[in-house]
Amino acid sequence: VLIPIHRYSLNYKGLPYKTVWLEYPDVASTLQSVGIPPTPGMPPKPDGSPYYTLPAIVDPNTGKAMSESLLIGEYLDSTYPDKPTLVPNGTRALMQAFVGAVANNLYASARFSLLKSCEELLNERSEMYIREARKKDILKDISMEDFYPKGEEEKAEWKKFENGMGEIGKWMGDGRFVMGDKISFADFILAGWLQGFIKLWGVESKEWKDIASWDGGRWDRFLKDLEEFGRDD
């Protein structure tokens, strides 16, 4: 829900598509029903059951059904080679490392987003699912309410978040995009995170205005540079 990576990738390639929104408790059964195996690279859930994740696609042109955003990107590149490339030759390892490195750098944002998305974004069935799931992985003995930073900690966590984005900005240097002037899958990962923040706080919020001011306004510019690929079907 928070990571509209498929939308950027498909729009960039100029492929028509239809989005189907799912509630979390329906993800595994829906993916199984269209023949998608558990997501490669994801460890099983704490209860031992396999992990099924979104985004996932079903391609009516070929019958292929699959999940995992980078694998989907590579599949689209090899199936539609005449369209713009998401994962240029030789960059797969770097793309994979980038996905993980961005998530690590933005971990502090989860302190804010987890509770807020449960309270304000998710429908009740998905909220219940996520509350249960997070209890078993990242939260353990703390409540979701206590995980949300308060007082001094709130300021410190927000600063960590800003530093995390700052670090990513440093990787990019003066480049408009992750690969300099060339748009790629890596930009859509980053844009997906930023879109998630806008979804969470709202474009008029003080939180987004703050993020948009970091690093001389680069993230706002970055999203504007990718705007034509951000729309939904």
Nearer to ligand GSH, 2 or 223 (CB): 2
68 contacts ligand GSH (rule: CB under 6 A): yes
Query: What are the Cα distances from residue 49, in Å, to 39, 125, 135?
Result: 12, 19, 16
39 contacts ligand GSH (rule: CB under 6 A): yes
Choice from 27, 122, 172, 186 touching ligand GSH (CB under 6 A): 27
Which positions from 104 through 133 interact with ligand GSH, judged by CB under 6 A? 133
Q: Number of residues interacting with ligand GSH: please give it, by CB under 6 A.
A: 11
Nearer to ligand GSH, 3 or 190 (CB): 3
Q: Tell me the closest approach of the beta carbon of residue 3 to ligand GSH, in angstroms.
A: 5
Both structure tokens of 36? 């998608």
Nearer to ligand GSH, 27 or 114 (CB): 27
54 contacts ligand GSH (rule: CB under 6 A): yes
Question: Chain centroid to CA 145: how far?
Answer: 23
CB 13 within 8 A of CB 86: yes
Q: Which stretch binds ligand GSH (CB under 6 A): 48-56, 120-128, 167-175, 208-216?
A: 48-56
3 contacts ligand GSH (rule: CB under 6 A): yes
69 contacts ligand GSH (rule: CB under 6 A): yes
Q: Which residues, including other chains, have CB under 8 Å from residue 87's CB and lie 6 or more apart?
A: 70, 73, 74, 77, 95, 184, 185
**Phi and psi (nearest 5°) for 179?**
-95, 30
CA atoms within 13 A on the CB side of 69: 24
Nearer to ligand GSH, 48 or 216 (CB): 48
| Residues in contact with ligand GSH by the rule CB under 6 A | 2-3, 24, 27, 39, 53-55, 68-69, 133
